Amino acid sequence: MRTVFAVLACVVVAGLARPAAAQQPGNQPKEFKVIVNADNPVGILTPDDVSRLFLRKTATWWSGRPVLPVDQNQHAPARAAFLREIHQKNEQALDAFWRQQVFTGKAVPPLVLGSDAEVIDFVGRNPTAVGYVSAGAALGPEVKVVILNR
C-alpha cells in the first residue's frame, strides 16, 4: 500500500513540475522574443494571448488601455517563426485573414515596421505597444521581454 501511495505522489509531483518549467525562459522560442514597453505590467503571456493581441481579437490590456501591436515586414527573419509559433499560420493564411477582417470592417492589420531596431524604438515610445524582434536583438531599458507560458 505504501508503494502505491509513493508512486501516486511521484506522479502528482511530476505533473505539478511541468507548468513551472513552462514558465522558464529556456523554453522561449529560439528565433524571436515578444517585447512590451518597460512600464507595461504584463510579464507573462500564452502564445494564444499574443496571437489574440496581434490579430486584434483582444483590443485592450487588462488595465483597459488599448493594445498597440506592431508587426515585422515579410522579409524580417523573425516573422516566419512568429507566424508559425504564435499564429500557427503561414504568410498566405495571415493575408487571407486580414483581407476578410478589412473587407468586413472588423479590424485592420497592425502597423508594420522594417527592422528590429524600429520595433524596439516604437515599443519603447508607446506604453501600450507589443511587438516581437529577433531572439538576438539587443534591447534597451525602455522595453522588456515577455515570457511565453506554454
> By C-alpha distance, which of 123, 112, 98, 97 is closest to 38?
123
At residue 66, the pLDDT reads 96
At residue 28, the pLDDT reads 65
pLDDT in tens, 22-37: 334 446 668 999 999 9
At residue 4, the pLDDT reads 36
Go through the chain and tell me how many residues it has: 150
Q: Which residues of the chain have pLDDT under 70?
A: 1-29
Strand spans (E) along the chain: 32-37, 44-45, 68-72, 111-113, 129-134, 143-145, 147-148
Half-sphere exposure (Cβ direction) of 17: Cα atoms closer than 13 Å:
6
Q: Are 6 and 116 in contact (CB under 8 A)?
A: no
> By C-alpha distance, which of 94, 144, 139 is closest to 116?
139
At residue 30, the pLDDT reads 84
End-to-end CA distance of the chain: 36
At residue 132, the pLDDT reads 97
The full set of domains in the chain, from first to last, is 26-148 (3.40.190.10)
Helix and strand counts by DSSP (H, E) for the chain:
5, 7
At residue 18, the pLDDT reads 34
